[in-house]
Chains A and B, each alone.
Chain A
Amino acid sequence: MPNLTLSQLTKTFGATRALREVSFTVAPGERIALLGHNGAGKSTLMKIVLGLIPYDSGRVEVLGAAPGDRAARRQVAYLPENVAFHPALTGLEQIRTYLRLRGEPVRAAMGLLERVGLAEAAKRRIGTYSKGMRQRVGLAQALIGHPRLLVLDEPTSGLDPVSRRDFYATLDGLAAEGASILLSSHALTEVEARTDRIVILSRGAMVANAALAELRRQAALPILMQVRTTEAAADQVAASLGGARFNGATVMLSCAPDQKLARLGQVTALGDMVEDVEVIPPSLEDLYTHFSKQVQP
Chain B
Amino acid sequence: MNAILAITVAEFRIALRNRWVAISIAMMAVFSLVLAGAGSAPTGTLGADRLSVTVASLTSLAVYLVPLVALLMSFDAIAGEVERGTLPLMLTYPLGRFEILLGKFIAHLIILSLAVAIGYGLAAGAAIWADPRASAGFPAMFRLFWTSLLLGAAFVAIGYAISAFARRPGAAAGLAIALWLVMIVLYDLGLLAAVVADDGGRFTTDVFPWLLVGNPADAFRLYNLAASDATAAAAGIGAAAHTIPPAHALASILLWPLAGLGLAVLAFRKVTP
Picked from B13, B89, B96, the residue with its CB within 8 Å of the CB of A89 is B13
Complex contacts, B9 vs chain A, CB 8 Å:
97, 100
Picked from A51, A80, A101, the residue with its CB within 8 Å of the CB of B3 is A101
One of B80-88, B220-228, B261-269 contacting the partner: B80-88
Q: A242 on the interface (CB 8 Å rule)?
A: no
B55-99 interface bits toward A, Cβ cutoff 8 Å, 1 = contact, 0 = none: 000000000000000000000000000001110110111111000
Knowing A52-B91, A53-B272, A76-B92, the reply to whether A89 touches B14 (Cβ < 8 A) is yes
Give the CA-CA distance A74 to B92 in the complex, in Å: 9
Q: A170 on the interface (CB 8 Å rule)?
A: no
Complex contacts, B10 vs chain A, CB 8 Å:
86, 89, 93-94, 97
Q: B202 on the interface (CB 8 Å rule)?
A: no
**B13 with A100: CB separation less than 8 A:** no
Complex contacts, B92 vs chain A, CB 8 Å:
50-52, 73, 76-78
Give the CA-CA distance A94 to B273 in the complex, in Å: 20
Q: B18 on the interface (CB 8 Å rule)?
A: yes
**A101 with B88: CB separation less than 8 A:** no
Q: Which residue of B lies closest to A127 (CB)?
A: B17
Picked from A78, A88, A102, the residue with its CB within 8 Å of the CB of B17 is A88
B109-120 interface bits toward A, Cβ cutoff 8 Å, 1 = contact, 0 = none: 000000000000
Interface residues in A, total, Cβ within 8 A: 30
Q: B259 on the interface (CB 8 Å rule)?
A: no
Residue among B3, B14, B88 with most chain A CB within 10 A: B88
Give the CA-CA distance A243 to B18 in the complex, in Å: 69
Q: B237 on the interface (CB 8 Å rule)?
A: no
Picked from A47, A73, A82, A100, the residue with its CB within 8 Å of the CB of B6 is A100
B96-138 interface bits toward A, Cβ cutoff 8 Å, 1 = contact, 0 = none: 1000000000000000000000000000000000000000000
Interface residues in B, total, Cβ within 8 A: 24
**A88 with B3: CB separation less than 8 A:** no
Complex contacts, A93 vs chain B, CB 8 Å:
10, 13
Q: A123 on the interface (CB 8 Å rule)?
A: no
Among A133-174, those with CB < 8 Å from B are 138, 141
**A101 with B89: CB separation less than 8 A:** no
Q: A85 on the interface (CB 8 Å rule)?
A: yes
Q: A103 on the interface (CB 8 Å rule)?
A: yes
Knowing A88-B13, A100-B5, A101-B95, the reply to whether A78 touches B272 (Cβ < 8 A) is no
**B84 with A84: CB separation less than 8 A:** yes
**A102 with B88: CB separation less than 8 A:** no
Complex contacts, A47 vs chain B, CB 8 Å:
88, 273
Complex contacts, B96 vs chain A, CB 8 Å:
70
Q: B243 on the interface (CB 8 Å rule)?
A: no
**B94 with A74: CB separation less than 8 A:** yes
Among B1-26, those with CB < 8 Å from A are 2-3, 5-7, 9-10, 13-14, 17-18
Complex contacts, A76 vs chain B, CB 8 Å:
92
B77: min CB distance to chain A, Å: 12
Q: Which residue of B lies closest to A73 (CB)?
A: B94
Give the CA-CA distance A125 to B2 in the complex, in Å: 24
Q: A129 on the interface (CB 8 Å rule)?
A: no
B270: min CB distance to chain A, Å: 12
Q: Which residue of B lies closest to A70 (CB)?
A: B94
Complex contacts, A84 vs chain B, CB 8 Å:
84-86, 89
Q: A27 on the interface (CB 8 Å rule)?
A: no
Give the CA-CA distance A110 to B17 in the complex, in Å: 22
**B85 with A100: CB separation less than 8 A:** no
Give the CA-CA distance A245 to B155 in the complex, in Å: 79
Picked from A80, A85, A86, the residue with its CB within 8 Å of the CB of B88 is A80
Complex contacts, B86 vs chain A, CB 8 Å:
84-86
**A98 with B14: CB separation less than 8 A:** no
Give the CA-CA distance A102 to B6 in the complex, in Å: 10
Give the CA-CA distance A103 to B94 in the complex, in Å: 9
**B3 with A52: CB separation less than 8 A:** no
Q: A273 on the interface (CB 8 Å rule)?
A: no
A96: min CB distance to chain B, Å: 8
**A103 with B2: CB separation less than 8 A:** yes
Picked from B3, B17, B89, B272, the residue with its CB within 8 Å of the CB of A83 is B89
Complex contacts, A102 vs chain B, CB 8 Å:
93-94
Name 21 A/B residue pairs within 8 A (Cβ), A-sorted. Answer: A51-B92, A52-B273, A73-B92, A73-B93, A78-B88, A78-B92, A80-B85, A86-B84, A86-B86, A97-B6, A97-B7, A97-B9, A97-B10, A100-B3, A100-B6, A101-B3, A101-B93, A101-B94, A103-B3, A125-B17, A138-B89
Residues in B lying within 8 Å of A, measured CB to CB: 2-3, 5-7, 9-10, 13-14, 17-18, 84-86, 88-89, 91-96, 272-273
Residues in A lying within 8 Å of B, measured CB to CB: 47, 50-53, 70, 73-74, 76-78, 80, 82-86, 88-89, 93-94, 97-98, 100-103, 125, 138, 141
Q: List the 4 shortest-distance A-B pairs measured between CB atoms, nearest first.
A: A100-B6, A84-B85, A88-B17, A73-B94
- Told that A76-B92, A84-B85, A88-B18 touch, could you supply 8 new A-B pairs with CB distance under 8 A? A47-B273, A53-B272, A70-B96, A83-B85, A88-B13, A97-B9, A100-B5, A100-B9
